[in-house]
Structure 1
Amino acid sequence: MPEGKIVKALSGFYYVLTDDEQLIQCRGRGVFRLNKVTPLVGDEVVFQAENDTDGYILEVKERKNELVRPPIANVDQAILVFSAVEPAFSTSLLDRFLVLVEFNNIRPIICITKMDLTNQKERDEIEVYASHYKSAGYEVLLTSSETEAGIESLIPLLEGEISVFAGQSGVGKSSLLNVLRPDLELKTDDISSHLGRGKHTTRHVELIKVGNGLVADTPGFSSLEFTDIELEDLNYCFPEIQRTSEKCKFRGCIHLKEPKCAVKSAVESGDIPEYRYEHYQTFIQEIKDRKPRY
């Protein structure tokens, strides 16, 4: 049976890209509904087809990861697109994205856009934040879709990978993809001055070929919930906290009220930025307050 990768899901159809670059329109078999399996963009599948528009997916292969919002599977890396301004840069929202991505074993790359719109004070602030995240171990790019500054550093990172572009609405994900693939002519909208956020311009998830990689443009979203993350997982989703926690006196320290906690000492000394630790504390409380599922 032929195999391929789902590169688009739209209106009940799944578009499967084969190794020889054929695109086959497929439907899912009824057995998936019975087994509560929903094929996702990024899935490796087995299918049968009489022609290019009349195929059926027979099997979804095991996934290495999957995201709920956006709905996509088998992602290698996430390009977390955040604007320097319009909307304003949010470390809280970025840290929320980073935790979700780290938890799903997806490599995060932080891409801060709209640097051409910043004044000197705003640029200095962004560069300080960028240095903090680089020190934590993240790749950080400062870019502009308007001037194309920083884009040359992003292109080689996409080669041979499945990358998801994710971030708040209006930060410039589609604009960035238009620079990478001008022929796409993806729709973009200005920020709503009344709401202070962007309009949703991407309506579905689709994998797009960029060089020798595949990139997903995804619908923008503004909230993330830690549905499956447990208290003991959170430590590993903050790389600098995880590294420092090895020096804590007590094993299993969650860095709140425990004595001789190396993480709290690192925050006091400035080795770990205070805002990162505050977000860690907020997320801990959020997980504790989460209603149990039965």
Structure 2
Amino acid sequence: MDGQSSLGAFLQARRSRLTPADIGLDTYGERRRVPGLRREELALLAGVSASYYARLEQGHSHNASPEVLDALARALNLDEAERRHVHDLAGLAARRPAARRPPAERVDGATRRLLESMPEVPAVLTGRRADVLAWNPLGHALFAGHLDPTAPDRPADRPNMAALLFLDPYLRELYGTWESKARAAVANLRYAAGRHPDDSLLGALVGELSMKSDEFATMWADHRARPCTVAEQRMWHPLVGALTVTQQALRVSDDQTLLVATAPAGSEDHTALRLLAQATAPART
């Protein structure tokens, strides 16, 4: 899908979720044939002509100014991440993506030292496509203890956190809040796709997951786009049982994110993390 088609699909999806009541519009009991706002209603709210907005949504206009995009974002009640996503999609429409295979993502020495410096905190470093680029022992034990711990060291074998969520039964059982975690992962991928439209590997990942998982395809069609930030996650780990952690996605570069999990000191959840660290620690010789 090219940039203009992506922009139009995003605008249409967001328009369908706004109701007249959301913008204080009285419909006087009128029965409406389509969900959400009509095109002309959103155009009026954004201060553009209905015909221009229709062309924009249909992919027939390629010259939306930043001011128009911001007006549409305000009319659609978009948050800052979604507003940036709209600008990314509009920028994509103005250029032709290059069809090339992107180079393998690398982990610099400073980031590896950061991972090594936090042995008591589960940490996983992911790239722009949610590939696992590195993890510390506790991060591996908490999030993917059933996988080869050396897999991230080999670009061809790197696990992908989004794919694991939808295709690996272990991850589905690990998260008690699986649906919210899965939706956040899909929104993060769509946000990345808007920023990197020429990434053929990202496009291939989305295509593969859409074919293999109806749940992913449904969530992708929802057009939610936002980077992961912070969320509380209920988990059930096969070694330590139930625990609740706060997962934070900390950006260490434009394309790399450090996912960490913490629990309040002295809590049962913190004790569970310490027990997991002890249970998976390498044997001393």
- How does the TM-score come out when normalised to structure 1? 0.29
Which of structures 1 and 2 has the larger relative contact order (alpha carbons within 8 angstroms, sep 6+)? 2
- How does the TM-score come out when normalised to structure 2? 0.30
Q: Which has the higher strand share?
A: 1
